[in-house]
């Protein structure tokens, strides 16, 4: 497996993701159509899903055994169904604590108009 280079401050990459009908339908299967396709809870959930999809798409290859220790997300705006987001992932920092490798990844998104949507921070216990 090729080695992923994690350098604090380095952009790992970005990807374009859509808040599309498939995501809306998945939400409605889980929570019911009455939750509303444009509801704030669905939009916040969609943003979290898109943040994780960006992580999985950009941060590759990942060693088996990583532990997703913590995440946080802040909103400048809630995404809306039909939005296309560009989501970038940056290595914010890494350190060894209690004999484990911790990696912090900063995630940022902008919509198709260039407006900020959300920022997130993922903390992982990195297995390799």
Helices (H), 1-128: 21-31, 40-58
Q: What is the pLDDT of residue 128?
A: 76
- Is the pLDDT at 41 greater than 90? The verdict is no
Better-scored residue on pLDDT, 31 or 114: 114
Better-scored residue on pLDDT, 84 or 38: 84
Q: How far apart are CA 50 and CA 16, in angstroms?
A: 10
Q: What is the pLDDT of residue 40?
A: 86
Buried b (16+ CB within 10 A) or exposed e, 38-77: eeeebbebbbeebbeebbeebbeeeeeeeeeeebeeebee
Which contacts (CB < 8 Å, 24+ apart) does range 97-101 have? 100/125, 101/125, 101/126, 101/127, 101/128
Nearest-Å Rg of the Cα atoms of the chain is: 16
- What percentage of residues in the chain have a pLDDT greater than 90? 79
Domain ranges of the chain: 11-126
**For range 36-46, the mean pLDDT:** 79
Q: Give the model's confidence band at 34: pLDDT under 50 very low, under 70 low, under 90 confident, else very high.
A: low
CATH class of 11-126: alpha beta
């Amino acid at each position: 497996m090729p080695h992923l280079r994690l350098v604090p401050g380095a952009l790992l990459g970005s990807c374009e993701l859509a808040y599309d009908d498939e995501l809306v339908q998945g939400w409605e299967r889980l929570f019911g159509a009455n939750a509303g396709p444009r509801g704030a809870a669905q939009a916040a959930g969609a943003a979290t899903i898109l943040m994780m999809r960006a992580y999985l798409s950009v941060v590759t290859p990942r060693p088996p055994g990583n532990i997703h220790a913590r995440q946080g997300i802040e909103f400048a705006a809630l995404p809306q169904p039909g939005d296309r987001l560009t989501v970038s992932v940056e290595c914010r920092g890494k350190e060894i604590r209690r004999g484990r490798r911790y990696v912090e990844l900063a995630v940022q998104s902008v919509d198709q108009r260039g407006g900020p949507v959300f920022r997130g921070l993922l903390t992982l216990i990195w297995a390799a």
